[in-house]
Chain A
Amino acid sequence: MGIFLRKWRGLTLAGALIALAVAATLIAGCGDEASTRSTFSYAEGSDPTSLDPAQVDETVGGNIARYLFDGLVRYDSETSEVKPAVAESWEANSNATEFTFHLRKGVKFTNGNEVKAGDFVYGWTRALAPGTMSSTATAILQPVVGASDLADGKTDKLAGVEAIDDYTLKVSLDYPMADFISLLGHPAASPVPRDAAENQSVKFAEQPVGNGPYRLKEWKHDEQVVLEKNPDYYGDKAKVDEVTVKIIPNPATAVSELKAGNVDAVRTLPPGQTEALRNDSTVRFFQGPGNKVRLLAFDTTKPPFDNPKVREALAWDVDRDTIANKVLQGQATAADGIVPASIPGHQDNAMPYSFDPEKASQLLAEAGYPGGNGLPAMTLSYPGVGPVADAAQAIQSEFRKIGVQLEIAGLDEGAFRDQMISGGLSLFMVSWLGDAPSIDSFLFPLFESGNIGATDVFQYSNPEVDDLLGRARSATDSGQSINLYNEAERIILKDAPMVPITFGQEAMIYSPRVTKFVHTPLGDIALNEITVSSK
């Protein structure tokens, strides 16, 4: 979901309204059958926008789609490492431009058809085709030869993907990228059965046919989505027979429903109640890392931020610990680099700055602005309301102490995004959620100079970083690749086109009847691994 808009949405929705759920047990009722069926239900704040794997681009639908569809690979629910799924094995050529996947035999879609290489060719082609209106496919499949031509409507074929036979899929990339595999657990890279997707009488987005551990049983818009265990699933079968996602927009209502025993987990907690719920003995509290980083961003082409000394000075004046622990109250941890701690290959303590206002003052003087004198009027902009606004205020008050006067301005998310993309903001706070659990998805889109005008919102360009990122992408040895990424991260931090502030933490509550609650670093509830005790 490499889209700024989506990230903020999750963020401010949490701050403002939203949240979660209700009870599946009503449906199971009290018949004989019911007693043997296990159920789990959780509350979400909004209806999925779509369950078409090519279209899901927000967290609610994403969580569901990940368990309706299995791609070539999947992510480990604890470590986010890439694991085989429909592909049993794969190999790359020596410069990581060509990948050959060997598919497992006997994997079935829930309509009974076997999943074959051609279903990946079709699924990827369909995801990229303009008519599908996917906002994620181009981000995920962009390296594939011909992906851009297809997305631009110049052709209707995806040149870089080929079914050698029913169980062998060959993928060619435009440029070397060893880490390409780690993108493929995204729903946009799912196999899609052509006859179901092209059926005119039912929309695939409403009644998707997948190959995952669950299949869709019912979707009542703005009320609930019911999933049932896929009995023909090829892998470890889901532990719970039926999962109900209840749509409960108000978080306080969701908490009441949980306490009344009508839902088993609540995804978004009411603002300001995190601590109270953590200490509430009637519910279980979960907190875990998310793959999100919050940044204080500079437009490095605009004065005074075009002066590296000014950026460095401000970087020494961000009190990450206070913001994480006091202001955001445990919804975040202090960032020690750009790449969140939950991402495989994360390096500890990459950050060259600590909180040191004296050093900041000194650097500010060296930059030609002693005590902040001579600095132009500046505004720190941020999207939406809620916790991000509190963090902005904390930064404003620290900066003021070293003489840097700031206005702060909360903008409507859409307006913020438009201004940010068009270069209208020079100092702003923004969150980035990686498309995949990989270092690349945190460094390449944000800091590689080819992304200026799109996701490199800092207008940051450093040939050394470009070179390191390019080499990291093409290195087929994963240890070597991680070293190159780590080195690039350290250089970027020193250049300070932005200052990382916090890594996201997900906080949620669940019922004591849930015996095993699994939440992935990608932000999903691992629906197939949850276990519950019978009531």
Chain B
Amino acid sequence: MPPNRFILHRLLQMLVVLIGTITVLFLVIYLMVPGDAAQVALGDHATPEALDTLRHELGLDQPLWNQYGIYLSRLAHLDLGTSYELKRSVGGIILDHLPATIYLTVAALILETVFGIGWGMLLTLRRSRRLRAISVASGAVLLALPVFFLGLVLQYIFASRLGILPISGTGGWNPLNLILPAVTLAAAQTAIIAAVSRSSLSAEMEKSYILAARARGLTRSQAMWRHAFRNSFAPVATLLAIDFGTLLGGAMITEIVFSWPGLGRMTYFAAESRDVPLVVGSVLVLVTIFVIVNTGVDIIYGWLDPRVRAGEGVNG
């Protein structure tokens, strides 16, 4: 596929996913809270007349298609509605929480990348059986540890006992406050990145061009750095791109343990209080970011690596 058509193709795919998401979310609202929105907003003491007035204001008394139209036109104006519970604009609330989440996500992603890939390289270079065993065991522990538990343990050791790091909160964006939540968030995924980069790198190291490079006198390490690394990076990069999306919305527990004012925690509490516009708004924003990042990575890879454009895609 020529590059431009490939990009167009990916962008179209992205659009389809987004429209699908928007429609599914609309149906969820429509089916889950048929007119209940007014009741949630006004509470138990509201009279039927007051409820009807508000339902009319919110357009809840209109037929499905009209409501869908209203919903789409609001989205087109970037209007995500008003939170039932907080009575503020959903867009504003999300913008309030997005920076903290992105800050934490990026930090976790950097930790994952550096330590995950480093770990994978180490295993590739040092083919020691003992190191392998230790690595498999510690990887399993990291994957199995519940995030909640890991967070509390780190808090206890580094903050309460040793007193070298803050317990929770952002501390007004103090970088020290970022360390524990970022490590907690990155732990499990670091093990996965390590495993994937090891296997991808090891497979690459078996290929004949590496043998040829070794034959020219390069050491294993030189061959890895100069040749194998770049070629083995695609699956890891894809994993990281997906991770970015997952971390954005999936940092909920970490955000709760560390009192981090992010999007995941906000969405969790919104769901708990059945604040439908807020939940739907943040899901929509998260899906959009996720889709855009993944499409971006696809396009960049298609551009770097012609095999992808040919349909062997790294993202399948």
Residues of A within 8 A of B (CB): 2-5, 9, 13, 17, 21-22, 26, 46, 49-50, 52, 55, 57, 130, 133, 135-136, 138-139, 142, 148, 151-154, 203, 205-206, 220-223, 246-250, 252-253, 256-257, 259-260, 262, 413-414, 418, 421, 454-455
Bound state CA distance, A50 and B87, in angstroms? 8
Q: Could you say which residues of chain B place their CB within 8 Å of the CB of A253?
A: 152, 155, 167-168, 257-259
With A130-B54, A260-B159 known to touch, is A152 a contact of B257 (CB < 8 Å)? Answer: no
Instruction: List 27 A–B pairs whose Cβ atoms lie within 8 Å, in order of A's numbering.
Output: A3-B45, A5-B43, A9-B273, A13-B272, A17-B256, A50-B86, A50-B87, A55-B87, A130-B53, A133-B41, A135-B44, A136-B43, A139-B43, A151-B50, A153-B49, A203-B88, A205-B87, A221-B261, A248-B169, A249-B265, A256-B156, A256-B168, A257-B168, A259-B160, A260-B159, A260-B163, A454-B45
Residues in A with CB closer than 8 Å to B155 are 253, 256
Contacts of A5 in B (CB 8 A): 43-44
Task: Contact check, A222 vs B97: say whether CB atoms are below 8 A apart.
Answer: yes
Enumerate chain B residues within 8 angstroms of A57, measured Cβ to Cβ: 43
Q: Which residue of A lies closest to B56 (CB)?
A: A153
Q: What is the distance, in angstroms, from B249's C-beta to the closest C-beta of chain A?
A: 16
Q: Does chain A have a CB within 8 A of B221? A: no
Q: Enumerate chain A residues within 8 angstroms of B171, measured Cβ to Cβ.
A: 26
Nearest CB to that of B46 among chain A residues? A138
Contact A222 B266 (CB under 8 A): yes
Quick one: given A5-B44, A455-B44, are A22 and B49 in contact (CB under 8 Å)? Answer: no
Considering the chains assembled together, what is the distance between the CA atoms of A35 and B54 in angstroms?
52
- Which chain A residues border B160 with CB–CB below 8 Å? 256, 259-260
Minimum CB–CB distance for A413 against chain B, Å: 8
Shortest Cβ gap from B83 to chain A (Å): 9
Task: Give the residue among A13, A223, A250, A257 with the most B Cβ atoms within 10 A.
Answer: A250
Q: A421 is contacted by which of B44, B152, B255 (Cβ under 8 Å)?
A: B44
Q: Is B170 an interface residue (CB 8 A)?
A: yes
> Bound complex: CA of A169 vs CA of B88, how far in Å?
33
Given A220-B261, A260-B159: A22 and B169 interface contact (C-beta under 8 Å): yes
Chain B positions within 8 Å of A205 at CB level: 87-88
Cα distance, A151 to B42, chains bound together (Å): 10
A-B contact count (CB 8 A): 131
Q: Which of B166-195 contact A (CB under 8 A)?
A: 167-172
Interface centre among B47, B156, B167, B256 (most CB of A within 10 A): B167
Known contacts A222-B265, A414-B274, A2 near B45 by CB under 8 Å: yes
In the complex, are the beta carbons of A247 and B86 less than 8 A apart?
A: no
Q: How far is the CA of A252 from the CA of B44 in the complex (A)?
A: 33
Which chain B residue shows the least CB distance to A18? B256
B85 at the interface (CB under 8 A from A): yes
Least distance between A133 CB and chain B CB atoms (Å): 5
Which chain A residue lies CB-closest to B83? A49
**Set A9, A55, A152, A223: member contacting B50, Cβ < 8 A:** A152
Whether A22 contacts B261 in the complex (CB less than 8 A), given A130-B50, A152-B49, A260-B163, comes out as no
Whether the pair A139, B45 counts as a contact (CB closer than 8 A) is yes
B269 within 8 A of A: yes
> Among residues 234 to 263 in chain B, which have CB atoms less than 8 Å away from a CB atom of chain A?
255-259, 261-262
For B53, B57, B262, which residue has the most chain A Cβ atoms within 10 angstroms?
Answer: B53
Q: Contact: A4 with B44, CB < 8 Å?
A: yes
Contacts of A221 in B (CB 8 A): 93, 96-97, 261
Report yes or no: B169 in contact with A223, Cβ–Cβ below 8 A.
Answer: yes
Enumerate chain A residues within 8 angstroms of B49, measured Cβ to Cβ: 152-154
Chain A residues within 8 Å of B53, by CB: 130, 152-153
Q: Closest A-chain residue to B82, C-beta based? A: A133
Chain A: CB-nearest residue to B155? A256
Q: Which residues of the partner chain B approach A138 to less than 8 Å between Cβ atoms?
A: 42-43, 45-47, 50
List of B residues within 8 angstroms of A133 by Cβ: 41-42, 54, 87
Expressed in whole angstroms, the minimum distance between the Cβ of B41 and any Cβ of chain A is: 5
Q: Which residue of chain A is the closest to B48 with respect to CB atoms?
A: A152
**Chain A residues closer than 8 Å to B170, beta-carbon distance:** 223
Q: Which of the listed residues B46, B54, B85 has the most CB atoms from chain A within 10 Å of its own CB?
A: B46
List B contacts of A4 (CB < 8 A): 44
B46–A22 touching, CB < 8 Å: no
List the 9 shortest-distance A-B pairs measured between CB atoms, nearest first. Answer: A135-B43, A222-B261, A152-B49, A153-B53, A138-B45, A249-B256, A248-B259, A139-B45, A414-B274
A290 to chain B, nearest CB (A): 20
* 1/0 contact string of B124-151 vs chain A (CB within 8 Å): 0000000000000000000000000000
Q: Is the CB of B168 within 8 A of A22?
A: yes
The residue that B85 contacts in the complex, of A2, A49, A256, with Cβ under 8 A, is A49
Task: Give every chain A residue within 8 A of B87 (Cβ-Cβ).
Answer: 49-50, 52, 55, 133, 205
Which residue of the partner chain A has the closest CB to B41?
A133
CB-CB under 8 A from A2, the residues of chain B are 44-45
Tell me the smallest distance from the CB of A264 to a CB of chain B, in Å.
15
Chain B, residues 259-282, CB within 8 Å of chain A (1/0): the string is: 101100110010011100000000
Chain A residue numbers with a CB within 8 Å of B261 are: 220-223, 247
Chain A residues with Cβ below 8 Å from B57 are 130
Pair B256/A250 contact, Cβ less than 8 Å? yes
Give bound CA distance, A132 to B57, whole Å: 13
Residues in A whose Cβ lies below 8 Å from that of B50: 130, 138, 151-153
In the complex, A206 Cα to B89 Cα: how many Å? 12
Shortest Cβ distance from A431 into chain B, in angstroms? 14
The answer to whether B44 and A454 touch across the interface, beta carbons within 8 angstroms, is yes
| Chain B residue nearest to A258 in the complex (CB) | B167
Which of chain B's residues has its CB closest to A20's CB?
B259
B271-313 with Cβ < 8 A to chain A: 272-274
Closest to A417 in B: B44
- Across-interface contacts of B41 in A (CB, < 8 A): 133, 135
Contacts of A220 in B (CB 8 A): 261
For residue B172, which residues in chain A have a CB less than 8 angstroms away from its CB? 26
How close is B13's CB to chain A, nearest CB, in angstroms?
35
Chain A residue nearest to B86 (CB atoms) is: A49
Residue ID in chain A nearest B100 by CB atoms = A222
Kindly provide the distance from the CB of B147 to the nearest chain A CB, expressed in whole angstroms: 12
B272: chain A residues within 8 A (beta carbon)? 9, 13, 413
* CB of B53 to closest CB in A, whole Å: 4
Task: Give B18 Cβ to nearest chain A Cβ, in Å.
Answer: 28
> In the complex, which residues of chain B have a beta carbon less than 8 angstroms from the beta carbon of A46?
269
From B156, B259, B266, contact of A250 by CB (8 A): B259
For the complex formed, measure the closest distance between the CB of A255 and the CB atoms of chain B, giving whole angstroms.
10
Q: Whole-angstrom distance between the alpha carbons of A22 and B258 in the complex?
A: 11
Residues in A whose Cβ lies below 8 Å from that of B47: 138, 148, 151-152
Q: 11 additional contacts, CB 8 Å, given A9-B273, A133-B54, A151-B46?
A: A3-B44, A26-B171, A133-B87, A138-B42, A151-B50, A152-B50, A223-B259, A223-B261, A249-B255, A256-B156, A455-B45
